[in-house]
Amino acid sequence: MSPGGTTVPESPESQSTNHTEVLDLSPSPEFAAQANGQADLYDAAAADFEGFWADQARQRLTWAKDFDQTLDWSGAPFAEWYVGGELNAAYNCVDRHVEAGNGDRVAIHFEGEGGDSRTITYADLQRDVAKAANALESLGVSKGDRVAIYLPMIPEAVAAMLACARIGAPHSVVFGGFSADALRTRIADAEAKLVITADGQFRRGKTAPLKPAVDAAVEGETTVEKVLVVQRTKDPVDWNDDRDVWWHDVVDSASDQHEAVAHDSEHPLFILYTSGTTGKPKGIFHTTAGYLTQAAYTNSVVHDVHPETDVYWCTADIGWVTGHSYIVYGPLANGATQVIYEGTPDTPHQGRWWEVIEKYKVSILYTAPTAIRTFMKWGDDIPAKFDLSSLRVLGSVGEPINPEAWLWYRKNIGGGHCPIVDTWWQTETGGIMISPLPGVTDLEPGSAQRPIPGISAEILDDEGNPLHDPEAVGYLVLTKPWPGMLRGIWGDEERYKETYWSRFGPKYYFAGDGAKFDEKGNIWLLGRVDDVMNVSGHRLSTAEIESALVSHPSVAEAAVVGATDETTGQAVVAFVILRGGHEDHGDETVQELRNHVAKEIGPIAKPRSIMVVSELPKTRSGKIMRRLLRDVAENREVGDVTTLADSSVMGLIKEGMSSGK
């Protein structure tokens, strides 16, 4: 990036001004009146930062021992929050709700892919967690031991995580779509003593085995002593009598009484490996009190969860941080009722999600832009067949949501009236950092808008000077510690300091995202810094160009990369999927789309080339792997494809190119 940043000729928010003319994007008075997050929170946090966070912790959590100091930043960048306090995260997520008389409230409406369902109340969950905690202890797990969890989206996953939290054994959840190798590396890095898994899971109408991956991951030298296996599919599995134990044998027979001893505020709660780009995966670790405070607070003020009346649904997998913070810890700490759905959105039909919303009268939906764009591709008529009138808040997370997808989401899912909270955060931040408050903020389609109360961010240029000029592109940094922040990279203090606290010196947390302000003071996230391109000295964001492409009526999905170019430094190369019913007319289509981008952003953003493809390479968490597209764009051998959800996609793309498509 050049000092001072460059100005993007025309920004997508000039498109969105048009939208604001036709849409009322301010909160309705009715919504605003009932919202958990009110405007005075911003003032309170600005007036007394530590006092604000102390209040959140004391109001939202139940403490066995109150803390003496809110923040100790003397060992920066290693923070300690709520120093001297003691609490139990599982007690906070379950038992206290039962003690308060809410044992009959539904905690989880579980919907299996095949239509099997289970209703789990807080009283049920208390018994399940206590039994699981007793079983873990009987298997030799004690405070401080690490437990790897490799489970599908079933209620046992929640019980397993909370049982670990209860006894103070940090969990390391590994997404069920990861390979045996990935699991082995993660088990080894955390030196896990126990693995909790299942025989298999239901996906796309079939069973998919899980246990064989665990068998392979613990073969030979390993720290793992026992493997605890949930029976889900009843498919036959290999069995090692010395090592393997059925969940239904040891958990079901265990006592449903278990004392939740209090743990220190800074006791490690979990490790979660980020899908690192290269090298060893980073074990991001979080501790108890600060993380739980931020998860509960944000779920309340951003998702606006009212535990007595709402039915909340976060569609993430518990294998990602979104599932940790916004399926397990946040909503359960708040005593919410939620839906957990096991399967894929198109099994047995493409209206499955909308059917689930209708069935459980879901009122808050939290999902990812990639899902929304997929639904756009499938067609408006599908959600239109279902009653979605119970919805009152929509959320988005994981990547920038382009204005087109935002508007589609609002209109076709949100009945034209639901506030959409576009929430920016990371595995490292533990909880939501930048987002509108749905009862306060005038929304801006495509922008995550502003740091929530208690969080402070800046955008810096290459030299570390804050940028405030509208449209000047720089690096997003966080300027103050926050309760949910990572406490390090497991076993690697140096890497923690270097990755996050050295680019702009020890005062700034470097998030790795490009960003800019608009003239209204909204923050626009522009993708990872390595996705920011520099074309002829002009900085362009992949996200901006993708957004422009997707705003064309014929485009369903787009991915843009910066390919090395002799003349311009980098050139824009786009890959697009056309919407159903739109044919690829070769050069004509390409020209039309290039002109469309020129019209939306400016001629400088015109892609050098556009390839029409049938699929895009995505990781299992739905992130487009631009690295692979860059390989194609630069005519290189395609690199490592092992983290792709579908490894055949790259073959299809290359095939399409060579056949001249």
Binding residues for ATP: 398-400, 422-427, 513, 528, 539
| DSSP letter, residue 457 | E
Q: How far apart are CA 5 and CA 1, in angstroms?
A: 6
What is the DSSP secondary-structure string of 175-232? -TTS-HHHHHHHHHHHT-SEEEEESEEEETTEEEE-HHHHHHHTSSS-S--EEEEE-S
Q: How far apart are CA 229 and CA 110, in angstroms?
A: 19
Q: How far apart are CA 661 and CA 651, in angstroms?
A: 14
Q: Which of 82, 424, 475, 490 binds ligand WT7 (CB under 6 A)?
A: 424
* Number of chain residues interacting with ligand WT7 (CB under 6 A): 19
Residue numbers 310-369 binding ligand WT7 by CB under 6 A: 321-322
Residues 6+ apart with CB under 8 A from 167: 133, 136, 137, 141, 142, 143, 261
Q: Which of 398, 453, 474, 481 binds ligand WT7 (CB under 6 A)?
A: 398
Least distance in angstroms from the C-beta of 399 to ligand WT7: 5
Least distance in angstroms from the C-beta of 365 to ligand WT7: 15
Least distance in angstroms from the C-beta of 367 to ligand WT7: 11
Strands 555-565 and 538-541: unpaired
Least distance in angstroms from the C-beta of 196 to ligand WT7: 23
Residue 485 touching ligand WT7 (CB under 6 A): no
Which C-beta is closer to ligand WT7: that of 140 or that of 276? 276
Q: Which stretch binds ligand WT7 (CB under 6 A): 151-159, 509-517, 586-594, 634-642?
A: 509-517
Q: Which stretch binds ligand WT7 (CB under 6 A): 67-75, 215-223, 255-263, 416-424?
A: 416-424
Least distance in angstroms from the C-beta of 475 to ligand WT7: 11
Residues at the annotated binding site for CoA?
203-206, 322, 536
CB 192 within 8 A of CB 148: yes
Residue numbers 519-558 binding ligand WT7 by CB under 6 A: 525, 528
Q: Which of 102, 344, 347, 426 binds ligand WT7 (CB under 6 A)?
A: 426
Apex CA 297: angle with CA 328 and CA 395, to 5°? Answer: 70
Residue 293 touching ligand WT7 (CB under 6 A): no
Is 111 strand, coil or helix? strand
CB 311 within 8 A of CB 357: no
Least distance in angstroms from the C-beta of 299 to ligand WT7: 13
Q: Which of 422, 461, 544, 546 binds ligand WT7 (CB under 6 A)?
A: 422
The two three-digit tokens of residue 367, written as one number:
């999902």
Residues at the annotated binding site?
203-206, 322, 398-400, 422-427, 513, 528, 536, 539, 550, 552, 555
Neighbours of 384 (CB within 10 A): 11
Q: Which stretch binds ligand WT7 (CB under 6 A): 62-70, 109-117, 382-390, 394-402?
A: 394-402
Least distance in angstroms from the C-beta of 77 to ligand WT7: 18
* Positive or negative: CA dihedral 474, 478, 484, 490: positive
Over the window 434 to 463, marking each residue x when it contacts ligand WT7 by CB under 6 A and - when it does not, the resulting string is --------------x---------------
- CA distances to 53, 61, 161, 193 from 293, rounded to whole Å, are 8, 7, 17, 28
Residue 400 touching ligand WT7 (CB under 6 A): yes
CB 206 within 8 A of CB 223: no
Q: Which of 212, 470, 491, 512 binds ligand WT7 (CB under 6 A)?
A: 512
Least distance in angstroms from the C-beta of 646 to ligand WT7: 19
Q: Which of 70, 427, 551, 568 binds ligand WT7 (CB under 6 A)?
A: 427
Least distance in angstroms from the C-beta of 308 to ligand WT7: 27
CB 197 within 8 A of CB 151: yes
Over the window 262 to 281, marking each residue x when it contacts ligand WT7 by CB under 6 A and - when it does not, the resulting string is ------------x-------
- CA distances to 381, 418, 436 from 27, rounded to whole Å, are 27, 9, 11
Residues 6+ apart with CB under 8 A from 363: 309, 310, 311, 312, 390, 391, 392, 393
Is 482 strand, coil or helix? coil
Phi-psi region of 303 (alpha: psi -120 to 50; beta: other; left: phi over 0): alpha
Residue numbers 220-259 binding ligand WT7 by CB under 6 A: none
List of residues contacting ligand WT7 (CB under 6 A): 274, 321-322, 397-400, 422-427, 448, 511-513, 525, 528
